[in-house]
Amino acid sequence: MTLRQSLEDYLAMRREFGDQLEKAGHLLTQFVTFLEERDADVVTVELALAWATLPTDCGPAWSSGRLGMVRGFARYLHAFDPRTGVPPIGLLPRGKKRATPFLYSNEQVRSLMAAARDIPSPRRALTAEAIIGLLAASGLRVGEALGLDRGDVNVTDGVLTVRHAKFDKSRLVPLHPSCAAALQIYASRRDQLIPRSGPAFFASPTGQRVHHCNFSGTFHALVTDAGLEVHPSCRARVHDLRHSFAVNVLTRWNAEGADVSTKLPSLSTYMGHVDPADTYWYLSATPELFEQAVTRLEAVYEVKS
């Protein structure tokens, strides 16, 4: 059996247990292609390490994650072929456990969407702008947005149905009327520009579902095109739009004088978190939040005095 056939069996087995493996499946396919180009019929630690570290401009967490995907596949192969080398845990340290999030301002989001409109391909431009707008307005995980089907987007009631999200959970996500209207406009223009698209709500130029890796590459190019200033220790990632959404909601609640502690569970539910503690991961201190915290503390001390 070839490595490519073994990969198909491995992914099918994992998906039977509920793992979606969309990203891992795409990357492991690239890994098998990497091996085939080198006439390798077996996975070795050396080849796995060489592939995992190929994108030299990425951080240690990305390379470690790539090697971890190979490790799972290699363990599966080793049961059938003892020659298979399994990369040991810790071979590529992840570095910092939490990347410093890049918190996008509203102006920076508008700049990204403007840069998307300048993409030469009208079909790619249309879809990229719509995806960025939805991520910024809803805080969805990028995989959740790309996984939406046409029937999952109810622009009339302004509700998304997110299916098979993290831990195979599903939930309803209400949208602001302006966001629902923007998605309705996208759907109309999508059907004009890509008339033969499939069931996916966000369609690639060929009519297929937009792939996570392809969109990530487009997004990174747009960050450069939009002229966003990015510090080496704080790269602007797609996922940071989710961080920005959570911080913006908390900032707005504080400005409105709301009881954040009682409202936080609703934000956790909206973002698809099982526990509010998971939501804290997305909350970063900003000057606005610091100022709001100081104002509240001063008010408390004034009352007590």
- Which strands, in side-by-side order, build the sheet including 171-174? 153-154, 159-162, 171-174
Q: Mean pLDDT throughout 45-54?
A: 94
Is 97 a catalytic site residue? no
- Summary mean pLDDT of the chain: 86
166 tagged catalytic: yes
pLDDT of residue 10: 94
pLDDT tens-digit map of 55-71:
766 678 888 999 999 99
Run of H or E residues at 100: none
> Which entry of 76, 186, 270, 282 is annotated as an active-site residue?
282
Strands (E), the chain: 153-154, 159-162, 171-174
What's CA 206's distance to the chain center, in Å?
A: 22
- Fold observed for domain 108-225: hpI Integrase; Chain A (1.10.443)
User: Which pTM value belongs to this model?
Assistant: 0.67
Which band of pLDDT confidence, cut at 50, 70 and 90, is reported for residue 289? low
Q: From the candidates 66, 123, 124, 141, give the one annotated as an active-site residue.
A: 141
Asked if residues 38 and 46 have their Cβ atoms less than 8 Å apart, the reply is: no
Please say if the pLDDT value at position 261 is more than 80: no
Known catalytic residue at 38: no
Helix or strand run (H / E) with residue 185: helix 177-193
List pLDDT tens digits, range 158-190.
Answer: 999 998 766 567 899 999 999 999 999 999 999
Does residue 79 register a pLDDT over 50? yes
Q: Which amino acid is at 294?
A: V
Catalytic residue among 78, 94, 166, 211: 166
Query: What value does the mean pLDDT take over residues 278-297?
Result: 53
- Identify whether 242 is a catalytic site residue: yes
Report pLDDT digits (tens) over 85-96: 999 998 988 765
What number of CA atoms fall less than 13 Å from residue 196's CA on the CB side? 2
Domain residue ranges of the chain, discontinuous segments joined by + = 3-78, 108-225, 240-304
Distant-in-sequence contacts of 118-125, Cβ < 8 A, 24+ apart: 118/225, 119/218, 121/205, 122/193, 123/193, 123/194, 123/203, 123/204, 123/205, 124/204, 124/205, 124/218
